[in-house]
Amino acid sequence: MAAYGLYTHIASNKFRSMLLLGGLFLLVYVMVFAGALLAEVALNSNRPFDDYLTLAAHDLVKAFPFATIGAAAWIVIAYFFHQNIIDAVTGGHDVTRQEQPRLYNLLENLCISRGIPMPKLKIVDSPALNAFATGLDRSQYAISVTTGLMNALNDREMEAVLGHELTHIRNGDVQLLVIAVVIAGVIGFFAELFFRIFFNSNWSFGGGSRSSSSSSDGDKKGGSAFAIVLLAIALIGLAWGLSLVVRFALSRSRELLADAGSVELTKDPDAMISALRKIEGRGELPGATSAVMEMCIDNPREGFADLFATHPSVDSRVKALVKYAGGRDPGPLPLPGSGAEAGDGGGPSADSSPDTRPEAPHAGPWGSSPQPAPSPAGPIPGPWGRR
């Protein structure tokens, strides 16, 4: 039986998922230690530097079981309710075969062809052109498609997009990204909490009034408290930054592999290329968080100098499909339906896809002449008739 995708990639994703879970707890403990440092300074700002570290370490040991239980509870909440949260943000809802026969049949045929369990199908009422997969296990897997994408793509292109999302599910990319979002959520929550407490509190280093004979010693202790606060802020910032780096590093390679997996499923690289060209720059979901956009087939949001872009550019994805799958690139495509009124469903895409059928001779705007610009054989007509 033919393998779906790369076994090594699937195994790698499972291994990285376990590392991410370990990283989640490690970063949470770093955050707890930083919080303990701030708490010790708030209680007494006249201790030596080493004393703060020792006391914070003792606090971490005491808080260890509570931090572990809290992080585990966060994962459990994400496991059971992440789909509800995503649906609330995007407005996605389940659909049946009776409601969306075209989309349902395309997805079902792909699943049957490879013996893949059928995920749930969801529709997002948005003019954006995008799709994404969610879920942490077989009972939760779902593929969401926007109404804008359904209207813009023909059956071949839509099948390619569904194959792309199925590859994410099969390769374990969905679970990996959800875990990364959980990590960033935990760290972001505690980082914001600590920073709010810090900036909304009146911190003083060195205590109140002192005699002149002990002012030098007090200044040293006050300096230690200030250094501890800087260390705590640095640890919080480092943990928050690492959690973001994990999220930013996940998407790029997985999108290229999902494109390749779609071609493996459909045997139609041109359809995948055409779909990407239509989606290009038109996938912004209004109101969607950055975590949701990272799950989408295309994320038009870009970071500083493209360093924090979660997806490779459409150009690079198309070039890879042309080079390795033998596809043809039609170049950037106009916005579907922008030039003429299109019907619903597959109507607009039948005209816009270059690979659907051979191009017929163009008709004139007022008739069905087979020649768009006939050359006159007789005398050249003037503006008021033939001379």
Buried b (16+ CB within 10 A) or exposed e, 99-120: ebeebbebbeebbeeeebeebb
Choose among 43, 170, 163, 176: nearest CA to 109: 163
DSSP run (H or E) holding 252:
helix 215-266
Identity of the residue numbered 55: L
Residue 74 in tokens: 């966060």
Point out the catalytic residue in the list 40, 157, 159, 165.
Answer: 165
Q: Are 132 and 144 in contact (CB under 8 A)?
A: yes
Phi, psi of 133 (to 5 degrees): -110, 145
**Helix 215-266 vs helix 269-279: angle between axes, to the nearest 10 degrees?**
130
Q: Is 165 a residue of the active site?
A: yes
d(CA 171, CA 183): 20
Q: Are 278 and 153 in contact (CB under 8 A)?
A: yes
- Beta strands per DSSP E along the chain: 93-94, 120-124, 131-134, 142-146, 381-382, 385-386
Residues catalogued as catalytic: 165
